[in-house]
Amino acid sequence: MTHEATIDAILNIVKAHEEWRGKKCINLDAAEGTPSPVGQSLLAADINRRVPTHRGARCALQLEEITGSLAKRLFKVAFAELRFWGCSIANAVTPRCLTNVGDTILALEDPRGHKTYRDAGYSGHRGLKIIDIPFNVDDFDIDMDKLKKLSAGQKAKAMIVGTSTFLFPHPLREMSRIAEDLGAKIMYDGAHVLGLIAGGRFQDPLREGAFVLTGSSQKTLGGPMGGWILHNDADFDKKMKPLIDVYQGPVGNRIPALAVAVAEMLTFGKDYADQVIRNAKALATALDQEGLDMIAKKKGFTESHTIVMNAERIGGGATVSHILEEVNIICNEVALWRSDEKPRLAVRIGTPEVTRYGMKEQDMATVANFIRRAVIDREQPSRIREEVSEFRSQFLTVKYC
C-alpha cells in the first residue's frame, strides 16, 4: 500500500467510525461520556501539541491555573491535580502516597476492585498485603457486617473503595469509623461517578469520610481523557508533587477541553446528573417490563448512571453485548459473583451519552424494546439496526452545554 493509500485508508476508517458511532448508534457504554462541541473542537487546537514544561508555555500554564480553580470550586476542595493521562494512574499514585512497602490495605474484592490497585497493579508491585472488602451482590453494595468482623483487630494504611459497576453510593460514614479504628485513610475511586458527584446527585465522598477522591474526566464528567486526584490535605499534596513529573501527561493536550467540561458542569451539572440517573432508572424499569433479568430490582435498580442486566439465560454477557453491537447498541459485558462464587455473566449499561444527546425517560422505553427484540426475540439484526439508526437520528445535538 502506498503512503497516499495508507492516509486515505486511515481517513476513511475515522470517517466511518464518526458516522457510525456519532450518528447511528445508541451508546449505552457506562464508561463513555460525551464532550460538548466546543470542548471537542479544542482538542485540535495548536496548544495541544506544545510541551508545557518548555519555553513558550505561558498560555498552557494559564489554562492549567483556570482549570484547577474551576475544579476546586466544583468539588469544593483545596487541592485538585488534573494532569494524569487517566484514572488508572491516579489510582496508582494515590496508594503510593498513602503506603510503604509491605503495608496492609483493604480493597474491594475482585472483580469489583479495579486492577490498578489489586495484585496485578500498583499494590502487587509494591508488595502490599490486600484484605478483600466483602461485597453483597444481592444488595449490590459493601457487606458491612462482614467488613466489621473482617477488620476487627487489623491495622491498615488505606481502605480503597469505588468500583467500575457502581450502582449505589457506599456507606462511607460507617466505613470511615472502621477506617479510623484501622488507622487507615479512605481512597474513593470515583472514576465512573465523578460527574454525578459534581452534580450533587450521588454522594459527597470527601464530606462523608473519604480522605482522597480519584476520578476520570471522560466518563460521566463529559470531558477529554484524563485522571484526577481531589483532596484537602497539604501534607498529602507535598508527598504527591514529586510524582507528578513522572506520571503526568502533557498538560496542553487536554486542559483547554477539560476547562470547558468543568465550566459546563458548574452551570449544567445538577440538571445533567439528575437526568442521567432518571434515565438509568427508567431504562432498568423498561427492561424489566420487557422480560430482562435486571440486577438490584428490590433496591430500585440503581442510584447512578449504571444498570446491570443478568445475561445468564440469554447467552451470557459477551454474546449479548455482541448481538447488541450488531444492531448498533453499544454496551459491554461484566463479570459478577454470587455469594457462592459461581460466575454471573452480565451486561453493564449506562446512560451518560444518551442523556447528553437529549434522550429522556420516555425514550428509554423505545431503547428497551430494541434490546428485547434483539436478545430475546432474536429478530433479524438488519431490521432492528435500521430502526435504531432512524431513532438515533432524532438525537444528534449535544445538550447541557
32 and 61 share a domain? Answer: no
74 and 219 share a domain? Answer: yes
245 touches 84 (CB < 8 A): no
Predicted pLDDT of residue 303: 98
Looking at the predicted structure, is the pLDDT value of residue 108 above 90? Answer: no
Share of the chain above pLDDT 90, in %: 72
191 touches 216 (CB < 8 A): yes
271 touches 80 (CB < 8 A): no
Q: Residue 313 and residue 141: Cα distance in Å, rounded?
A: 24
Looking at the predicted structure, is the pLDDT value of residue 304 above 90? Answer: yes
User: In terms of residue numbers, what domain contains 198?
Assistant: 39-261
Q: Residue 206 and residue 198: Cα distance in Å, rounded?
A: 12
**Does residue 275 form part of some domain?**
yes
213 and 273 share a domain? Answer: no
235 and 152 share a domain? Answer: yes
How confident is the model over 50-60, as pLDDT tens digits? 777 788 888 88
User: What is the number of domains present in the chain?
Assistant: 2
Residue 138's pLDDT band (boundaries 50, 70, 90)?
A: confident
Task: Tell me how crowded residue 332 is: count the other CB atoms within 10 A of its CB.
Answer: 18
Which residues make Cβ contacts (< 8 Å) with residue 138, sequence separation at least 6?
A: 339
Looking at the predicted structure, is the pLDDT value of residue 307 above 60? Answer: yes
CATH of the domain at 215: 3.40.640.10
**Does residue 163 form part of some domain?**
yes
**Does residue 2 form part of some domain?**
no
Q: In 3-state terms, what secondary structure has residue 132?
A: strand
Q: In 3-state terms, what secondary structure has residue 151?
A: helix
Q: Is the peptide bond before 111 cis (omega within 30 degrees of 0)?
A: yes
**Does residue 277 form part of some domain?**
yes
Q: Residue 88 and residue 110: Cα distance in Å, rounded?
A: 16
| pTM for the structure as a whole | 0.94
How confident is the model over 248-258, as pLDDT tens digits? 655 556 888 99
Q: Which of 353, 335, 337 is nearest to 345 (CA)?
A: 335
75 and 190 share a domain? Answer: yes
327 and 373 share a domain? Answer: yes
**Does residue 113 form part of some domain?**
yes
Which long-range contacts does 51-54 make (Cβ < 8 Å, 24+ apart)?
Answer: 51/250, 51/252, 52/250, 52/251, 52/252
